[in-house]
């Protein structure tokens, strides 16, 4: 669970679940499910995603899915 408004640089709080699809040293990639303009493997700076994830309105929920492709 993240504060989606922190990703989009808007004021207020908007809780949103995202699916991380990859990472590098500088970026996370996630699936943007919508409701408008869904996009796979969207790139976001790690610093911004960590800020959205650690927002005071969230409790740093995390679900890990692991398995073979």
At residue 69 the predicted structure's pLDDT band, cuts being 50, 70 and 90, is low
Predicted model pTM: 0.76
Cα–Cα distance, 3 to 27 (Å, whole number): 18
* pLDDT number for residue 17: 86
Token pair in block for residue 32: 């943007």
Q: What are phi and psi of 5, to 5 degrees?
A: -65, -25
* Residue where the block lists tokens 């976001």: 44
Residue range 9-44, pLDDT digits in tens: 899 998 888 888 899 999 999 988 877 788 889 999
| Strand, coil or helix: 4 | helix
């Amino acid at each position: 669970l993240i504060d989606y408004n922190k990703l989009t640089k808007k004021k207020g709080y908007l809780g949103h679940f995202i699916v991380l699809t990859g990472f590098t040293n500088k970026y996370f990639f996630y699936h943007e499910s919508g409701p408008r303009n869904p996009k796979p493997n969207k790139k976001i700076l790690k610093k911004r995603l960590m800020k959205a994830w650690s927002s005071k309105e969230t409790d740093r929920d995390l679900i890990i899915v692991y398995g073979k492709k």
